[in-house]
Amino acid sequence: MTDLFADDRLSADPVNRSALNRRETPPLADPGPVFQASTALKASQRDILGLPVCDLDWDNAFEFAARLADMPIGQTTIAFLNAHCANLMLSDPQYRGALARQVVFPDGQGVDVASQVIHGRIFRANLNGVDFVPALLTYMEAPKRVALVGAEWPVLLRATEKLREHAPWHEFNAVADASFEPGESAAVTEKVRRLAPDILLVSMGSPVQEKWIDRHVTPGHARLVISVSNLFDEIARQTAKTPERVHHLRFAWLLRLIKEPRLGWYRYIVGYPRFLHHVARYKLRSLVGRQRGESA
């Protein structure tokens, strides 16, 4: 079976890592104050169903996230929005509020379709978490301490070991699986605080992970926090990596539906048309609002 990490961008080879850093794309912003990166990020954001979503290519997304992990103060959380998450967001005000306080990256064809309908262009890259996080760990050459929370305990341990093999210059620590009770959140975050990680990865599934981070994780726990959905499961069971051409064509969702029909049929067969309905209504309201503004 194909290794999830079997990709030049994800290679642990120091030569490949150096080559990845020698890119032609200009850096997101000159090294300096935090507000420079924040200003550049805001300039890249695009409204998707009322939520700002970042429009960055892979290189600038790596640059931005790596800089956040290096910050001496503050904290930023990165989340990912796909069509399924957008449907959940529209029916869950707490989830929507949490996403609004986090940096959101586009994930999948659904948000591309929404961007095309609403703004007339798709996103520069499909920054799905399963590919983005391992690639980011490869990109960052300076050793980092990474804490992992979520999934089932055997899966968490297996994923931690696989990440150590993938990027051995970083330190990976399994903190807690996702079975803890809500009242135990303080104890879990205290374990994270004692570790003092640069990066915290949380794998509880949406919207649980985003809301848990929003309620319980503070700047004293990590500089960069990423909600990674099923990343630990994908790494632990070493599922075949989605071919690059499939990602380029934005058809990863179709491949997942074919491979896991029982898990994906409701999300894609029922949820995707619902998402398109939301997008069409949002576009129509914006057009009506614009016409009213022009006639006023």
Instruction: Specify whether the CB–CB gap between 156 and 235 falls below 8 A.
Output: no
Encode pLDDT of 102-115 as tens digits. 999 999 989 999 99
DSSP label at residue 53: E
Pinpoint the alpha helices (H) of the chain: 14-21, 34-44, 58-70, 83-91, 93-100, 109-119, 129-139, 153-166, 185-195, 208-216, 231-237, 244-248, 252-259, 261-265, 271-295
**Average pLDDT estimate for 226-230:** 95
The confidence band for 221, taking pLDDT boundaries of 50, 70 and 90, is very high
Q: Which residues are 148's β-sheet partners? A: 174, 201
pLDDT single digits (tens) 162-188:
999 999 999 999 999 999 999 999 999
**Vertex 18, ends 71 and 198: CA angle to 5°?**
25
User: What is the average per-residue pLDDT within 46-61?
Assistant: 96
**pLDDT value at 12 more than 50:** no
Contact criterion met (CB below 8 Å) for 104 and 54 = yes
pLDDT at position 94 is 98
Q: pLDDT tens digits for 113-126?
A: 999 999 999 999 99
Question: What is residue 196's three-state secondary structure?
Answer: coil
DSSP three-state, residue 146: strand
Task: Tell whether the model's pLDDT for residue 224 goes beyond 50.
Answer: yes
Higher pLDDT, 6 or 171: 171
